[in-house]
Amino acid sequence: MLSQMVSWVINLQFYLQGVTRVQLDVRTLARRWEQYRLLFTTGAPSLFRHCCNMLANVVLNTVAGGWGDAAIAAMSICARLLYLSNAVSNGMNQGSQPVIGYAYGKQDWRRVRASFAFSVKVSMLSMVAFGAVGIVFAPQLVGIFRDDPQVIEVGRTALRLICVALPLANFANSANILFQIVGRPVTSTVLIFGRQLAFYIPALLLLPRFCGLLGVQMAGPLADIVVFAIALPLTLRYFRSLPES
């Protein structure tokens, strides 16, 4: 909570001290419904993404609880490690937003393609590197957080499975951001719901009945693979629909 408050104060200074041209002033608030509608439709995928992530975490902890505290701890540690590994990927995706958005607004289709391709290549390469480290050093990484043999045993398998699908999950996230930027919130939202609500949560509820704890561990990677299989053709079709220049 304190870290969120400190970050909020730091960011607020940019708008209060004139560092940026965008100033906080009640007189500049939008007065037309169309502007609020555009804000909501553009930001809705981000809202749904956070809500779906929260719901998925609740289901994950509930299901993992059936195998005791060690399983909950191990899956939580893997989630934290995944968050750290995604930092570079998320940075690339967020950094590409204004570039792709500006190029899209100017109808510079060549730059839209180049910006997305560059972002995906760099972030996927970073995910391959993180994945390799995670697979090789899974027990050591989990052991940093909890020196408990049971937690390490559960966590190393979960982490290795997550790392296998890490580059594919990164591409799906990049496609999600792309469709949000270019004004296709429905497609972006479908990818979010597809990953969390249509695949991940059902996998969490069904796979453990057949595979036990392994079903909990592989639910996330399987969902990432399925969403990648959906996101790739959608992305390719979108870029084929753009003019050549």
pLDDT tens digits, one per residue of 2-47? 998 999 998 888 877 767 777 777 777 777 888 888 788 777 777 8
Stretch 81-96: mean pLDDT: 82
pTM higher than 0.95:
no
Exposed/middle/buried for residue 108 (C-beta within 10 Å: 0-12, 13-18, 19+)? middle
Q: Say if residue 146's pLDDT is above 80.
A: yes
Does pLDDT of 187 surpass 90? Answer: no
Measured distance between the N- and C-terminal CA atoms of the chain, rounded to whole angstroms: 47
For residues 51-74, give the mean pLDDT.
89
Indicate the domain borders of the chain: 36-241
Confidence of residue 245 (pLDDT cuts 50, 70, 90): low
Both structure tokens of 173: 């996230």
pLDDT at 136: 94
User: What value does the mean pLDDT take over residues 81-93?
Assistant: 81
